[in-house]
Amino acid sequence: MDIIAFIGIGSNLESPKENCEQAIQYLQNANGIRLLAQSSFYKTAPIGMTEQNWFVNAVVKISTTCDPQKLLDSLLSIEKEMGRKPREKWGPREIDLDLLFYGPQSISTETLKIPHPEIPHRRFVLEPLNELDPDWSHPQLKKTIHQLLAELPSGQEIILIE
């Protein structure tokens, strides 16, 4: 059975937009994944570790036959294939693929937290999600993406890339 899922994509090393585009190509070629929609790209200020390059971020909406852990494993495999190196939390990265939502499910294991716990606090995730599916409901917070974005405090610079 196909499940709708959303994947956050980000990069701030070398050619960030090209890295994100390449990651989307990898996703399109991955077994059990069908790309349904892609958001615009956004240039975003770093969070946490602010002394680094700005990021390029986007979100894709997919249909998948993979279970959540297999989907996460595919994302980690793509990151590795693209040369992501282990670094400090919130540090620079070649590519970052985050499983944001997996259908209406809530999952919490050692390796997997769905929905991604930072969604309600991250403009660089909410803006592209809102572009793709403003009425998508957060299964734990019982609020739409549009509502979460409206409730987000000002700040967190984000610029649409034309």
- Of the residues 2, 34, 67, 93, only one is catalytic, namely 93
Do residues 54 and 69 touch, judged by C-beta distance below 8 A? no
- Of the residues 34, 87, 98, 123, only one is catalytic, namely 98
Report pTM: 0.95
Do residues 101 and 114 touch, judged by C-beta distance below 8 A? yes
pLDDT one-digit tens code per residue, 31-47: 999 999 999 999 999 98
Provide the domain limits for residue 33.
3-160
- Of the residues 34, 73, 96, 133, only one is catalytic, namely 96
Query: Average pLDDT over the chain, rounded to whole?
Result: 94
- Of the residues 73, 84, 123, 135, only one is catalytic, namely 84
Band of the pLDDT at 97, cuts 50, 70, 90?
Answer: very high
pLDDT of the residue at 51:
86
**Closest CA relative to residue 67, chosen from 32, 109, 111, 108:** 32
Number of domains in the chain: 1
pLDDT over threshold 80, residue 91: no
34 included as an active-site residue: no
pLDDT over threshold 80, residue 87: no
Instruction: Determine the Cα–Cα distance for residues 141 and 51; give it in Å rounded to an integer.
Output: 32
93 included as an active-site residue: yes
**CATH classification of the domain holding 43:** 3.30.70.560
Name the residue with higher pLDDT: 8 or 86.
8
123 included as an active-site residue: no
